Amino acid sequence: MVELRRYGGLPLPAEAAAIWDDIWHLEAHNSTAIEGNTLVLREVEALLEHGKAVGAKPLSDYLEVLGYGEAAQWVYAQASSIDGFGGEELITVTEVRGIHEQVMRHVWESAPHPQARPSEGPGGFREHDIQSFAEGMKPPPWVDVPARVRTWVDSVNAFGGDLSALGADSIAPQDIPLHLARIHCDFENIHPFLDGNGRTGRLVLNLILVRLGFPPAIIFKRDRAKYLQALHRADRGDYGLLAELFARSVIDNLHRFVVPGIAGPSRLVALQCLASDEVSYAALRQAASRGRLEAYQGSDGVWRSTKVAVDKYLLNRYRRRTG
């Protein structure tokens, strides 16, 4: 994972906009769906791309996705840093609070937490104690939250410093997912906010990832039970399952960027890898589902096609428009 930075890192958001936008939509949809949001991917895409509230879902669901989408967009923009991460701070307390503020501000205006004090709004640490969770996790007393968050931030930045000095063998590359799992679990254990800790914690982890030159990690809603089980096991010191979830997601998203550059024109690849400024992923997926694009939907639900097939589809589409 670290070697990626030595070869120029990921394409900047401006250089691979279609891929970044697809990840943006998928993350906003799945991360909010894990917490109970009912918007489907098509509705998320319409809201984030065009500002349209398609469907007849509760207002709070649209506001949750809108806030998360804005926060994710800010996080992804950190990947466009000219110099990338060079051993300085990976994250600050101010950024943690800022991400929470972006995630929660829209929905809070419509439906604030009924027990919240004025200082516990978006970006404000909780001033209530939280009961132990059914799985046994016990967040610290609220008076300890500011100090615990500062300690957590210090540990993340120490991890970043160790990564920047990998020549000293301070962290083995294969152990990086375990460290990321510990970082995420520790944040969720602190539970620094009255609401929105899961969404904020996943975005905070992705901020760390993109600053290290990795693609974001997406936990899909279909893996919700596995994710919660992994957090439960991590809370008891077993980070393996959570590390695997993050590692697999990072690798899958890395393939989105790498495969289009190395695959031959006849190689079958995920449809989102074939999106471009000329044709969006949504348009390709619609064409595939209608049989207008030669494509194959695997057992994993992912549509795949080839550059040859997409070029043929675009040519035929152009002929239909001008014929």
| Predicted pLDDT of residue 1 | 45
Please classify residue 284 by burial: count the beta carbons closer than 10 Å to its beta carbon, then call 0-12 exposed, 13-18 middle and 19+ buried: buried
DSSP label at residue 323: -
- Please spell the DSSP secondary structure of 259-316, one letter per residue: HHHHS-TTS-EEGGGG--SSS-HHHHHHHHHTTSS--EE-TTS-EEE-HHHHHHHHHH
> Is the domain of 242 the same as that of 314?
no
Q: In sequence order, which residues have a C-beta less than 8 Å from that of residue 180 and are 6 or more positions away?
A: 205, 208, 209, 243, 246
> Is the domain of 211 the same as that of 99?
yes
235, 260, 285: which is the final residue of a domain?
260
| Predicted pLDDT of residue 323 | 52
CB 48 within 8 A of CB 63: no
> Is the domain of 228 the same as that of 121?
yes
| Predicted pLDDT of residue 80 | 63
| Residue in this structure with the two tokens 């209530």, named with its chain if needed | 128
| Predicted pLDDT of residue 318 | 66
| Predicted pLDDT of residue 2 | 43
| Predicted pLDDT of residue 6 | 46
| Predicted pLDDT of residue 276 | 80
> Is the domain of 242 the same as that of 291?
no
Range of 174's domain?
Answer: 3-260
> Is the domain of 251 the same as that of 304?
no
Distances in Å between the alpha carbon of 127 and those of 99, 104, 144, 190?
19, 17, 10, 13
> Is the domain of 250 the same as that of 280?
no
> Is the domain of 184 the same as that of 283?
no
> Is the domain of 124 the same as that of 230?
yes
> Is the domain of 254 the same as that of 270?
no
> Is the domain of 239 the same as that of 101?
yes
Q: In sequence order, which residues have a C-beta less than 8 Å from that of residue 241 and are 6 or more positions away?
A: 226, 229, 230, 233, 234
The DSSP bridge partners found for residue 305 are 269
The predicted model scores a pTM of 0.80
Domain count, the chain: 2
> Is the domain of 43 the same as that of 128?
yes
Q: What is the pLDDT along the chain (323 residues), one digit of tens a residue?
A: 444 554 446 776 766 777 888 899 999 999 999 999 999 999 999 999 889 998 899 999 999 999 999 999 999 988 766 445 555 789 999 999 999 999 999 999 999 999 999 999 999 999 999 988 877 788 999 999 999 999 999 999 999 887 776 544 567 777 899 999 999 999 999 999 999 999 999 999 999 999 888 899 999 999 999 999 999 999 999 999 999 999 999 988 888 777 666 666 667 788 888 888 788 888 899 999 998 998 888 766 788 888 888 888 888 876 666 55
> Is the domain of 281 the same as that of 150?
no
| Predicted pLDDT of residue 176 | 92
260, 282, 303: which is the final residue of a domain?
260
| Predicted pLDDT of residue 47 | 95
Q: Distance between CA atoms of 261 and 243, rounded to whole angstroms?
A: 28
CATH of the domain at 111: 1.10.3290.10
| Predicted pLDDT of residue 168 | 44
